[in-house]
Amino acid sequence: MARAIWKGSISFGLVNIPIALYPATRREELRFRLLRKSDLSPVNYKRVAEKDGKEVPWDQIVKGYEYEKGKYVVLKEEDFERVDLEATQTVDIQDFVDQEEIDPMFFYKPYYCDKAYALLRDALKDSNKVGIAKVVIKTRQYLAGVKPEDGTLVLELMHFADELADPEKLHVPKKTEVGKREMNMAKSLIDSMSSKWDPEKYKDDYREALMEVIEEKVEAGGKEIEEKPRKAPKPTKVIDLVSVLQNSLEQSGSKKKATAKSRTKRKQPAKKAA
């Protein structure tokens, strides 16, 4: 397992449970270096001042907050120390709330707790509750949810309310009445495309395709490779929503029939030779 990113305890009421947190996701972005074209020498980032384009040494750099456009206030180390939160190494659960009440948009990064603690895990599962906590990791305070998941406890970092954009301020279409026929067809399409949740079914196509290009270039010794012709998608104009839904239903139905037929063929025993 990966190295623990944090060690401490879960605390609620008078209960104190020691835990360690481990990353629950494995995604790593592909990292690229900037190179000089002539000899592929790596190009490093420089600290350059916008005013005159001159490089600035570390000992002349300070941290500033832009409180108005082009106006800054400088913050020193003692200023940060004044508001530094005590790293208590405790996941301090402040409330238990119904999981259904929490908008999924609040959750964004899960961590496994190294021990399941059957009592807390099962109590949360049976009551369908999530422990809402605050935790300091390194120097930053996070909101977090403690919840049962696949036989263990998961601590999932959450956004604070003011970190989410207010949908009321977005230019989204106003509510309009939807026709009964359109609604029935839309529901039928959803039903025809419904299946059991299988996370292994969904792959990062962009990453896989990019890795293929990288591997081809490595095998070619860094030389340019011939680009494979791609079929450009035909532009479509959605004019009649009903007809679009109808076509989608027909396509979905055809795919389901083809899948069922292939499964039936696989199940049939092979005919014995006469």
pLDDT for position 207:
80
By the 8 A CB rule, do 158 and 106 touch?
Answer: yes
Please report where in the chains the tokens 């929490």 appear, as a residue: 102
The HSE-up count of residue 101 (CA atoms within 13 Å, CB side) is 10
CB 22 within 8 A of CB 114: yes
Give the separation between CA 272 and CA 26, rounded to whole angstroms: 49
Single-letter residue type at 157: L
- Cα separation, 146 vs 107, in Å, equals 11
Q: Is the per-residue pLDDT at 224 higher than 70?
A: no
Which pLDDT tens digit goes with each residue over 246-267? 777 777 666 666 665 655 555 5
CA pair distance 213, 254, nearest whole angstrom: 34
Confidence class for position 69, pLDDT limits 50, 70, 90: confident
Contact, 32 vs 213, CB < 8 A? no
Once rounded to an integer, what is the mean pLDDT over residues 155-173?
Answer: 79
Query: Which residues of 58-212 form beta strands (DSSP E)?
Result: 63-68, 71-75, 90-98, 107-113, 129-137, 140-149, 152-158
C-alpha of 175 from chain center: 29
Query: Up-side HSE of residue 82: CA atoms within 13 Å toward CB?
Result: 5
d(CA 121, CA 148): 5
Q: What is the pLDDT of residue 175?
A: 66
Residue 227: phi, psi to the nearest 5? Answer: -75, 130
Residue 124: per-residue pLDDT:
92
Q: Which residues contact 8 (CB under 8 A, 6 or more apart)?
A: 18, 19, 88, 89, 90, 91, 135
Answer positive or negative: Cα dihedral of 194, 196, 197, 202.
Answer: negative
Q: Is 229 left (phi over 0), alpha (psi -120 to 50) or beta?
A: beta
Whole-model pTM: value is: 0.62
Burial class (CB in 10 A: 0-12, 13-18, 19+), 147: buried
In the prediction, which pLDDT does 239 show? 46
Domains and CATH numbers, the chain: 6-21+84-163 (2.40.290.10)
What percent of the chain stands above pLDDT 90?
14
Higher pLDDT, 35 or 234: 35
Higher pLDDT, residue 47 or 15? 47
Cα 214 from chain centroid (whole Å): 24
Q: Determine the number of helices (DSSP H) and then strands (DSSP E) in the chain.
A: 5, 9
Q: Which is nearest to 91 in space by CA: 52, 144, 159, 151?
A: 144
- pLDDT at position 230 is 63
Query: 117 pLDDT band (50/70/90 cuts)?
Result: confident
96: left (phi over 0), alpha (psi -120 to 50) or beta: beta
